[in-house]
Each structure stands twice: as C-alpha cells, then as structure tokens.
Chain A
Amino acid sequence: MNRKLTPVENLVLPCQDEFDVDLLMFFGWGFLELAFITFIGGILVGVLGGLLGVGGGVFLIPFLVGVLDVAPIEAVGLSLFCVVGTSVGSAGRALKGNDINIGLGFVVEVCMVSGVVFSSIAAHRLSSTGLLRLFSLLTLSLAVLFVFRALRGSREKNSLFRTDSSSENLHWLDGECVEPSEGIVHYRPRHARWIGVLVCGSGVASGLFGIGGGMLNVPILTLVGGLPLRAAAATSSFAMALTGAAGAMIYFSQGTVPLFMVVPLLLGVIPGGSIGMSFQSQLPVKFLRLLFAFLAAVVGIWGLVRSIRGES
C-alpha cells in the first residue's frame, strides 16, 4: 500500500516480518489450532479487561506478536476490535448494575475520540519515540502511585464527593457506588472539565500506540475525578465501545486487520469481559489496585523497551 507509515509502524515494523500463514504451518499450526489459541488468549484478555476497565490491547498485542507472530501493525488493529468486544462483555454486564457513570462515560468517550482523531491526523508530525517514552514514564509513575495508595489504605471514602440522594437537584454527572459500611452512596465526579482535557491526551496516546486507553483513563477517573476504582473501571469500559470502534475503523480502512482472526478473538473476549466484570465486584479494592499497578508497570517497561528499539 502506498501510504505513509504511522509512528506505530515506524517503531515496530522494522522489528517484525509481515504476518505469514506459512509461519503457522512451520509451527504445525492449522487454522483450528490458531483459532483455539486466539480464543484462549481472548478469554484471558477479556477477564483482565473486565476486572480493570482496560480494553486489553496492552495484553493482546504482546500475545499476538510474541506468540502468534502477527505483524505488529495487524496486532494493533486486532486489539482495537478486541477492545469493542471487551466493552460488549464488561460494560454490557455493568449496565445491568449501577457502577457505570453514564454521563461521565459519554464525556470520556467523546473527548477521547477527539484525541484519537488528532493523533491520526498529526501522527507524522509527532516525535513518536519521545511520546512513547513519556507515556511509559507516566504509566510507571501511575503504577508507583497505585502501589502507594494500596499499601497506605483506601482513601476513596474520603475523596468521594458525596451528594444527597434526596436532593431535587440531581446533576447529570451524578453516580452511585456501594460502600461496604454504608451501602449505596451517591457521588459527583470532581473536576469534570479537567477529566475531559486529560482523556483527550489519553486518546492521543491510544491513537499513536494502540494502547493506553483504559490504562490512563482509570487513573484519571480515580485520581482526578475522585471516582471509586470499581466505578472508574466500569465507566472506562463503557467509554471504550466508541473509542475502540473509532480506532478499529481507522485501522480497518487501512486494510491492515486480518479479519479471520477477529472471530475467535471476539468469542473469547466477550464472555471473558463479562466474567471479569462479575469477578470485579467480589475482589477487594486493594487487590485490584495492586493488580492494576503491576500491569501498569509491565506496560511502562514494555513501552520503554519499544521506544529504545525504535531508536536503534
């Protein structure tokens, strides 16, 4: 195809060959084996995505590139299809409960898509290596912050901006969550405008690197908006339906998505996301924070390695 390479391709294409079915045959894999492995990977990615409110690209891209030898540019496109599937599984389940803050979810998805579009337009003018390094350092910092908060003990209760459920002036951004000692508590997100601005940046990172949506959105919603972790994860899952579809459309229109791999992936991530979301409500917040911190650290280190590879 005669088109300019995006920063993602510039970073990763020199390191990998094009996806080649012959390679699968070399490993003795037929399509059914490939489908089965992709399906299992999809379930794992979906469960983690549902637990933490992330799309799953951060787990899926290394899996597709490292295990299945998919070309990285195709892996990014596939992971964006997977993000839609995770959102169907996890947000679809969460919509039956009360964890999703729908108003904030709309704000997040619209602002984030703006960032994705900006990044796809300005991609060739941006220093991708520098941005990836910045993104990695930011993710590592968030990992440290989440570990610190998990070990220090829950401060969510204090940071929650409570509203009176009996008030006649319910705001459209109001949400509700379950506090162990108090039952259902109504809250209002703090700094909604800042959340909008910050998730735009998250969209830029997502558009450039195919990762970073939920991994940045959940910390933004908890640390800036003061949302409980579970509500932040559910709201992030809700928003990912549009951001994932937007990113998938962009890659799809470039013809770089191997659609035959989408089916087993979706068959895995949709139930996986639903399972992850149902487990999420049963796990302690401290565990979820530590798990999130661990995965953020892995993503940060992975991003640093990618940025160093891109220079060499």
Chain B
Amino acid sequence: MNGSCGKENSLTTSSKAKITASLAMFIASVIAIVLLSTGYVDAISHNNANEIFQLEPLVSSDRALSWRELVGLVGAFFLFLVPVVRNFALFRLPQRPLRNWAVASTFVWLALLIWRGGILFS
C-alpha cells in the first residue's frame, strides 16, 4: 500500500500472506471434498448410507472400518485443517502480535484435536 508516511501498512493491505491463506483454505477444502466424495459415490451405488459414514461404528467399536470410511475420515480431517493452513500462511504477516495470535489459534486447534481425537480413538 502506498501509505503517506512511505511505510507499507501490511496489516490491512492485500498482502501476499493473505492471498496465500485464501488459497490454502480453498485447497484444503477441495481435498476434503474429493476424499469425502469417494465414500459418497459408494453410497449412491449401493444405497447404504446408513451403514457407511455415520461413524457410530467407530465410536461404539461395533465393527472395523472399511477403506472408504478411512478415506472419509482423512477427508474430514482435511476440512478440520482449514484454519490451520490459513494460520500457517498468516505466520508471514509482518506484525509480531498477529503472528503470536496465529500461533495461539493453531495451538488451540491442536489441543482440541488431541482432546477430541483421544475420545474418538480411546
């Protein structure tokens, strides 16, 4: 930005970091959709949506997961990754407080993942 002081105000201008963050969010969500679609195609083919992708079997350990369910799990994980990849891109913002908040946000996400992942796989 052409600030009148001659110093770039990188807080508010359309910086490279912000564009990268936008792109990273989009890519993570596209990967999630592609992986989740794998199981969805199976649901259309076999009309068995109640049997796959409900994840209750995983929680209650009734049966082993099929490979499609595993792909679905990874797909959901990529959707959860959206805020993290955004934060990684924003680590390049010039102001230290902003970078610190990006780190804090990532740690909050990580703590939640460990907490809920622990419940899921315990």
Contacts and interface: CB of A to CB of B under 8 A. Distances in A.
Interface of A: 1, 20-21, 30-32, 35, 81, 84-85, 87-88, 91-93, 95-98, 100, 102-103, 106-107, 109-110, 113-114, 117, 165-168, 170, 172, 174-176, 186, 241-242, 245-246, 248-250, 252-260, 262-264, 266-267, 270
A255 B54 contact: yes
A84 to B, nearest CB: 6
B54 A258 contact: yes
Contact of A242 (B37, B53, B109): B109
B54 to A, nearest CB: 6
A161 B60 CA distance: 54
Interface string B102-121: 10110011001100110110
B109 to A, nearest CB: 6
Nearest to B20: A95
A145 B61 CA distance: 50
Q: Is the interface of B mostly helix, strand, loop or mixed?
A: helix
Interface of B: 3-5, 7, 9, 11-14, 18-19, 21-23, 25-26, 28-29, 32-33, 36-37, 39-40, 43-44, 47, 49-50, 52-60, 72, 75-76, 79-80, 82-83, 86, 90, 93, 95, 97-98, 101-102, 104-105, 108-109, 112-113, 116-117, 119-120
Given A176-B12, A252-B120, 13 more contacts: A91-B22, A98-B14, A102-B93, A106-B102, A172-B97, A186-B9, A241-B83, A252-B80, A260-B40, A260-B43, A266-B79, A267-B33, A270-B26
Q: Which of A84, A110, A248 has the most CB of B within 10 A?
A: A84
A260 B105 contact: no
Contact of B113 (A167, A175, A249): A249
Contact of A252 (B26, B39, B60, B76): B76
A88, A97, A166, most chain B CB atoms within 10 A: A88
A254 B117 CA distance: 10
Given A1-B60, A165-B3, A113 B108 contact: yes
Nearest to B56: A255
Given A98-B13, A241-B82, A270 B29 contact: yes
